[in-house]
Amino acid sequence: MTENLPHGVERTAISELGREMLAQGLTKGTGGNLSQLCADGETVAVSPSGVPYGEVTPECVPLVTLDGDQVAGDLDASSETPMHTAVLRCRDDVGGVVHTHSPYASTFASIGEPIPASHYLIAFAGDRVPVARYEHPGSEALGERVAETMGTEYDACLLQNHGTIAVGDTAEDALEVATMVEYCARIHYQALNVGDPIILPDEEVTRLRSTFESYGQH
């Protein structure tokens, strides 16, 4: 029961979405991490470091401040917490962050190539998925690089020689963006192998992004 667990809703979301991220093939082992800003706007629930996703319960999801100081949880917060908190500090429109090691997106990250708009679902992330220059994993410098690369224009970017990061209103929304990034990366990889991908014009991607904002049931 999590009724009496501080920020139980957000901690439950992180525990459940970690298993979903693994099930969708967006990472392997204990790789990747997730976070969600809590309702108080000051505390962040973040996945614990090095724990198999199937073993993560709401009670063992750590809580940190927006400055990255751990304030609850017996397990250490993810080593990538500085990247999560850097993005959350810079983006008032973001409440969830997901970092994956998905294979096709990581392939483009390894060659330092952005994923262009060869499929319309790229609009979940922006007019493309840009690349944040390599910085040491878990470093403050990586968080700064990611925040700089995404700015307010993109909802995902590739981490050179590393993986992907995606953002959204919640961690669930961020996971959806990460899933779309991986799908677009796979389609673009396949398209490159059979021909010359046709890239959608910027104005069409802008129109798509506007459409996606009101897509679905509310």
Tell me which of 80, 140, 153, 182 is the catalytic residue.
80
Are the beta carbons of 114 and 173 closer than 8 angstroms?
no
Output the CA–CA distances (angstroms, integers) from residue 154 to 40, 60, 67, 116, 167, in the order listed: 25, 31, 23, 13, 9
Instruction: Measure the N-to-C terminal CA separation of the chain; round to a whole number of Å.
Output: 28
Phi, psi of 157 (to 5 degrees): -155, 160
The reply to whether 80 belongs to the active site is yes
Count other C-beta atoms under 10 Å from residue 116's C-beta: 18
**Percent helix, strand, coil in the chain (nearest 5)?**
40, 15, 40
The partner residues of 97 in beta bridges, in order of sequence, read 35, 167
Are the beta carbons of 157 and 100 closer than 8 angstroms?
no
The partner residues of 33 in beta bridges, in order of sequence, read 99
The partner residues of 164 in beta bridges, in order of sequence, read 100, 158
Active site amino acids: 80
